[in-house]
Amino acid sequence: MRLQYPASVRVIQLPCSGRVDILHLLKAFEEGADGVYVAGCMEGDCHFLTGNFKARRKVNYVKKVLEQLGMEPERIEMYNMSSAEGPRFAQVAREFTQRIQELGPSPVKAAQAA
Amino acid sequence: MIVGDSKPLEEILEMIKGRDKVLVLGCRGCVTVCNVGGEKEVGILATALRIARKKAGQPPTVDGMTLERQCDPEYIEELAEVAGDYDAIISIACGVGPQFVAERYPEAAVFPGINTTFIGGALEHGVWAERCQSCGNCLVHNFGGLCPIARCSKSLMNGPCGGSAKGNCEISPEVPCVWHQIVEKMEKMGRLQELEKVWPNKNWLTSRDGGPRKRVREDLKQ
Ligand code: SF4
Ligand code: SF4
């Protein structure tokens, strides 16, 4: 299956979405990422039982941090998809990319460029 | 352990306004255990502050450092080389931390990054509850091992009060009435009759009411 998804999406692989850390997510924003999303397995399908639920809670935490920093919480999102759903992966990548395009560049990057 | 909550980022940003070089200072004691002031939280707060600075086009110098403890002068000493390099030091230890740092480095601008809330324990991962108010004269053995000082909203020694309903305190259905629990526990232990004792007013001199407390242990003093 060869599926197209936007080239602006950079995939970082982790053994489980539960491995993602609040610090990883914030670092991405510090380095100027316009948006970050975590793609975890379907709820109830985690090999480690609750990794994807934990990932969602961390994403929610970072949403609050972004809000407190005056940035749009929509710049970070959690998606659930099965590893057998290639088309859904590509669709989420397109959806999220469009959302971020609508929000525009990260204010972190914009201030650095100025 | 001593339990605390992170201060809102807005409040911290306001505190350090106009101060270029910032150090976030963690502690490996209680605040590490209650996930509010350890190495990890130092990383998170320092990163969040750098994002805020970058976003505002300000110099993003926010470093992090975590001391073994902030309630012991020997560890505070580790800051000696660097304290002078910063325009602000945010301590995310309990309230003892910022005070010890400020005492040792009188020139430094020290800010508390957390609110110290209570002495308690973890009910489960991510949930903590108050258990002790450091009254200075522990009596929990008389109450089935439950503390009426810290856990009864009115700190009653002779409870429950008339507000106890369905096992909960009158202040909120979310707050268990510890006196309800004491009675149940003592009954289960076959010690209910012990609760017939009427306790005189507690002597609060051993608590904060006697003024700031200090202990001198001659056996340990050097
Ligand atoms: S009786 Fe006093 S020392 Fe004992 S747990 Fe309660 S508040 Fe703490
Ligand atoms: S209802 Fe129970 S916990 Fe609340 S004030 Fe009365 S005795 Fe104390």
Q: Does residue B220 lie within any of the structural domains? A: no
Two tokens at A30? Answer: 């510090």
Q: Tell me: do B176 and B104 sit in the same domain.
A: no
Q: Tell me: do B161 and B80 sit in the same domain.
A: no
Q: Domain ends where: B118, B143, B173?
A: B118
Is B61 an 8 Å CB contact of chain A?
no
The CATH number that applies at residue B105 is: 3.40.50.2300
What is the distance in angstroms between the Cα of A5 and the nearest Cα belonging to chain B?
A: 28
The confidence score (pLDDT) of residue B181 equals 98
pLDDT at A20 over 80: yes
The confidence score (pLDDT) of residue B30 equals 98
Q: Does residue B92 lie within any of the structural domains? A: yes
What is the distance in angstroms between the Cα of A6 and the nearest Cα belonging to chain B?
A: 26
Among the residues of chain B, which ranges form H helices? 9-15, 30-33, 39-55, 73-76, 96-104, 148-151, 178-188
Q: Tell me: do B36 and B96 sit in the same domain.
A: yes
Q: Tell me: do B109 and B156 sit in the same domain.
A: no
The domain in which residue B83 lies consists of 2-118
Q: CA of B158: how far to CAs of B31, B49, B140, B188, in Å?
A: 34, 49, 13, 19
pLDDT at A114 over 80: no
User: For the segment A51-92, what is each residue's pLDDT rounded down to a tens digit?
Assistant: 999 999 999 999 999 999 999 999 999 999 998 888 999 999
pLDDT at A24 over 90: yes
Q: Tell me: do B40 and B148 sit in the same domain.
A: no
Q: Does residue B127 lie within any of the structural domains? A: no
Q: Does residue B128 lie within any of the structural domains? A: no
Q: Tell me: do B107 and B141 sit in the same domain.
A: no
- Say how far apart CA A65 and CA A42 lie, in whole Å: 25
The confidence score (pLDDT) of residue A31 equals 95
Per-block mean pLDDT, blocks of 10 residues, chain B (222 long)? 97 96 98 98 98 91 98 97 97 98 98 98 96 97 98 97 97 97 98 97 93 95 88
pLDDT at A2 over 90: no
Rounded to two decimals, the ipTM of the complex is 0.90
Q: Tell me: do B108 and B165 sit in the same domain.
A: no
Number of domains present in the structure of chain B = 2
Q: Domain ends where: B118, B153, B175?
A: B118
Q: Which one of A69, A71, A75, A112 makes the best mutation probe of the B interface by having the most chain B beta carbons within 10 Å?
A: A69
Question: Of A23, A70, A71, which has the smallest distance from its Cβ to B43's Cβ?
Answer: A23
Question: Of A69, A107, A114, which has the smallest distance from its Cβ to B48's Cβ?
Answer: A69
Q: Is B57 exposed, middle or buried (0-12, 13-18, 19+ CB in 10 A)?
A: middle
Q: Tell me: do B36 and B114 sit in the same domain.
A: yes
pLDDT at A6 over 90: yes
The pLDDT mean for chain A works out to: 94
User: For the segment B93-123, what is each residue's pLDDT rounded down to a tens digit?
Assistant: 999 999 999 999 999 999 999 999 999 999 9
The confidence score (pLDDT) of residue A17 equals 95
Identify the closest residue of chain A to B44 by CA–CA distance: A23
With bands split at pLDDT 50, 70 and 90, how would you rate the model's confidence at A1?
low
Identify the closest residue of chain A to B13 by CA–CA distance: A69
Q: Tell me: do B105 and B10 sit in the same domain.
A: yes
Where do the domains of chain A lie? 18-113
